[in-house]
Amino acid sequence: MLLSLYRSLRDYRGFILGSVKREFQSRYRNSLFGALWTVLNPLSMIVVYTVIFSHIMRARLPGVDDGMAYSIYLCAGLLTWGLFAEITLRSQNMFLDNANLLKKISFPRICLPMIVLLNAGINFAIIIGLFLGFLLITGRLPGPALLALIPLLALQVIFCAGLGMILGVLNVFFRDIGQFYAICLQFWFWLTPIVYPISILPEWVQRLLQLNPLTNLIGAYQNVLLYGQWPVWSSLLPTLVIGVLFCLIGLRLFRQRVGEMVDEL
């Protein structure tokens, strides 16, 4: 099963890479600033949040007492949350958006989630690259703990891909999933310590937020990028387990329903 998936991905790598490239090109084809928009979008969000929370609401991070720290904290959470949101939102629509292609042309369907992952990956790489460059210039680049980003990102991709696959398949059969998840994502964002530090919450709410698999993951990013601290790996275990579980369920759903899917598009 996995082997055949791998084989179709390998045989169609030309199509996958080509699609990624074309999608990237087409997004900026008729725009003057091109890829700059990829950066400007989250940048504006960061500015808004920094101004509102850091200056107007006087939010301060415990231990570090300058305005810049909050911006870095915010970036660490917001950019990685952006990756999560992009993968899941686009996965959810990947089969519907490509309905025409799916109905007319026979190709391995597993290419579609791959294209989504690669596209989101490229966008994220651009933005995190700029962010790290910014840290380097301001002399706030964390030390060796930066290497922790690699396993953290791997963990996040597993989690997102699994969840995305489930949403993508279900959305073909139950279009409510798309509407529901968009609302769900709003709550999820505010229930994850991204804009605020978890320490400002009462003890019992903090414990409650531990149930959110993204709390510790985003927290780990923030620790790495702001304080240069290595993550507490054991705290990420539940996220990994849930992520792998999502992947298994997603693949199972995909395999069971991929044939039926075309009839519903």
String marking each residue 46-85 x if it binds other proteins according to CB under 8 A: ----------------------------------------
Q: Figure out which of the listed residues 74, 79, 102, 165 binds other proteins, where binding follows CB under 8 A.
A: 102
Residue 61: beta bridge partners?
64
CA 207 to chain centre: 24
Alpha carbons 163 and 78: distance in angstroms, whole number: 19
Decide whether 83 or 116 has the Cβ nearer to other proteins. 116
Number of helices (H), then strands (E), belonging to the chain: the values are 11, 0
Q: Does 30 bind other proteins (CB under 8 A)?
A: yes
Residues 176-205, interacting with other proteins (CB under 8 A): none
Residues 213-232, interacting with other proteins (CB under 8 A): none
Q: Does 1 bind other proteins (CB under 8 A)?
A: no
Choose among 72, 81, 66, 77: nearest CA to 198.
77
Among the residue ranges 23-31, 36-44, 187-195, 213-221, the one whose residues contact other proteins (CB under 8 A): 23-31
What the block records as the tokens of 23 is 């999608």
Decide whether 33 or 190 has the Cβ nearer to other proteins. 33
Q: Are 206 and 198 in contact (CB under 8 A)?
A: yes
Burial of 4 (0-12, 13-18, 19+ CB in 10 A): exposed
First to last CA, the chain: 25
Closest distance to other proteins from the beta carbon of 91 (Å):
19
Q: Are 227 and 147 in contact (CB under 8 A)?
A: no
Q: Figure out which of the listed residues 1, 2, 26, 56 binds other proteins, where binding follows CB under 8 A.
A: 26
String marking each residue 243-262 x if it binds other proteins according to CB under 8 A: ---------------xxx-x
Q: Does 234 bind other proteins (CB under 8 A)?
A: no
CA 87 to chain centre: 5
Dihedral in degrees, nearest 10, Cα atoms 62, 63, 64, 65? 70
Among the residue ranges 10-18, 54-62, 68-76, 77-85, the one whose residues contact other proteins (CB under 8 A): 10-18
Decide whether 26 or 234 has the Cβ nearer to other proteins. 26
Q: Does 173 bind other proteins (CB under 8 A)?
A: yes
Decide whether 30 or 234 has the Cβ nearer to other proteins. 30
Choose among 180, 156, 171: nearest CA to 231.
156
Interface residue list for other proteins (CB under 8 A): 11-12, 14-15, 18-19, 22, 25-26, 29-30, 100-107, 173-174, 258-260, 262-263
